[in-house]
Amino acid sequence: MTKLSVNLNKIALLRNSRGRDFPNVVDFAEKFISRGVHGITVHPRQDERHITRQDVRDLSRLLSCDGEVEFNIEGYPSEDFLQLVEEVKPKQCTLVPDSPEQLTSDHGWDLSQDGEYLATICERLNGQGIRTAIFLDPSLEQVERVKATHAHRIELYTETLAAAYGTPEFDSVLAKFKAVATRAQELGIEVNAGHDLDLQNLPHFLTIPDIKEVSIGHVLMIECIEQGLDSVVEQYLDICRQSA
């Protein structure tokens, strides 16, 4: 069964827009956990535009008390980011090639250029018992290079799949993702996925076998506003239960 990890960045963004601790990020983590989600994801950025370093520490304290719920911290591996990860020791750290100027993550790593650098980061985190994942475009050329980085997993960047949903190109795009996921698994690399997955496209994506985890935030929060938190979480969990 694929695990569902909820990204709380948008909760933090709402809070920061008003200058007080409402909505509270830890409270919302507890709401999602009580409804059965398998993980919590955060992406702290250098400017703390949404998730702050203190949020990471607060969530770490919450999740350390619940060994069933995984904590996934994603972000660019700057030294201050790595020190924060090493301090709280999440179950997983997903390395993302985003600059401080980017609005959101919009591409995977180019391992022909960054592979050696990422190998040093993965070895550093792996040595502390932290599972490492690399944010990757659906590229067979790139996935062939992952093994040399010592990363345990890749997270497939699924924006192109979401953009193709409902168009004649969708089947061919999905087939490309399947080919990359299959090749990663053949190489002994586990596969996560995230970015713009939603209640409509996720069932199609999870026809790809053995996807370990999907991380969903922005769209899920909008769906919760439209349909209610209980209904949305249960729909996602049902999709995950039926995964290939």
- Verify whether residue 204 is a known catalytic residue: no
* 128: helix, strand or coil: coil
Residue 7 assigned ligand-binding role: yes
Is there a catalytic annotation at residue 38?
Answer: no
50 contacts 12 by C-beta, under 8 angstroms: yes
192 annotated to bind ligand: no
C-alpha–C-alpha distance, residues 180 and 191, integer Å? 9
Distances in Å between the Cα of 160 and the Cα atoms of 87, 97, 156, 234 are 34, 17, 10, 26
Q: Can you tell me the distance from the alpha carbon of 60 to that of 47, in angstroms, rounded to the nearest whole number?
A: 20
Tell me if 67 is assigned to a ligand binding site.
no
Query: Directed axis angle between helix 229-241 and helix 25-34, to 10°?
Result: 50
Tell me if 228 is assigned to a ligand binding site: no
Q: Which of 70, 74, 155, 223 is catalytic?
A: 74
18 annotated ligand-binding residue: yes
Q: Which of 155, 195, 213, 223 is catalytic?
A: 195
Q: Is residue 43 flagged as an active site residue?
A: yes
List beta partners, residue 42: 73
94 is in an annotated binding site: no
- Among the listed residues 43, 70, 150, 223, the single catalytic one is 43
Binding residues for 1-deoxy-D-xylulose 5-phosphate: 45, 50, 104
Residues with catalytic annotation? 43, 74, 195
Residues flagged as binding site:
7, 18, 45, 50, 104, 196, 217-218
From the annotation, which residues make up the binding site for 3-amino-2-oxopropyl phosphate? 7, 18, 196, 217-218
